[in-house]
Amino acid sequence: MRNLSRRDCDACNKQGFNVPARKNGYAIPALNVQNLESLTAVAEAAAKEKSPVIIQITPSVIKYAGLQYITGLPKTATALQPVPMAIHLDHGDSFETASKCVEAGFSSVMIGGSFLEFAENVALSNRVVDTAHPKGVSVEAELGKLAGVEERSVAEKDAILTDPETAVEFVEKTGVDTLVVAIGTSHGAYKFKSEAKLDLERLKMISEKISIPLVLHSASSVPQDLVEKAKKYGAELAGAKGIPED
């Protein structure tokens, strides 16, 4: 995980997190928050580990909490904590949602157009880029279809892995700052019906062909000891699993 100054983080926001994570070859955690409690947990953990973090907010959370309320919480955290933090729209479902988040002061926004045809995805992503970049806001787009149980996920049999050459064309035509690629990850705690199989060779090929940072959605693990602990205290997480840690 990176350990940057606030100035470095500002540069990252404007250059797609390209300084210095891409250069030095390490990942940045992106964690979803829904309320004060989840935000506090993420912010305090990031500070304890001396790791910058991407605080993610989904359209459903915006609908639940209200844009100004849910934006104010992470803004406060970024001012109080000693590590760089970005405020990111996760799974942006429309141009309107993305543009509202740009105006609200988000560091970056995602526009999820992978469910569209290629040309439509390019057009939608371009529209968001044209709105976000003048404000110094990074844009994340998605190419390929992920399986799972979250917004706009598809059944495992319908998942489409990202083609490296198409990724090159997409990035050239859109000017996005980061790109979500599909290499076999799957959305949600109950995401995998079978064992996870990641196409790491595909990931390597894409990484070698484009210079912007890549994003892996749902690349986290769900440690079974925590599932058992949750069950002990009354939570029901039957079948929850993620990417193996070994």
Residues identified as active-site? 90
Please enumerate, as own/partner, the contacts of 118-125 that have beta carbons within 8 Å and a separation of 24 or more: 118/166, 118/170, 121/170, 122/170, 122/173, 122/174, 124/95, 125/170, 125/174, 125/176
Q: How far apart are CA 28 and CA 74, in angstroms?
A: 17
Q: How far apart are CA 52 and CA 6, in angstroms?
A: 10
End-to-end CA distance of the chain: 18
Q: Which residues face 110 on adjacent strands?
A: 140
Category of 93 on φ-ψ map: left (φ > 0), alpha (ψ -120 to 50) or beta:
alpha
Edge-to-edge order in the sheet of strand 178-181: 30-32, 53-57, 85-89, 108-111, 138-143, 178-181, 214-215
Residue 82: is it exposed, middle or buried by C-beta count within 10 angstroms (0-12/13-18/19+)?
exposed
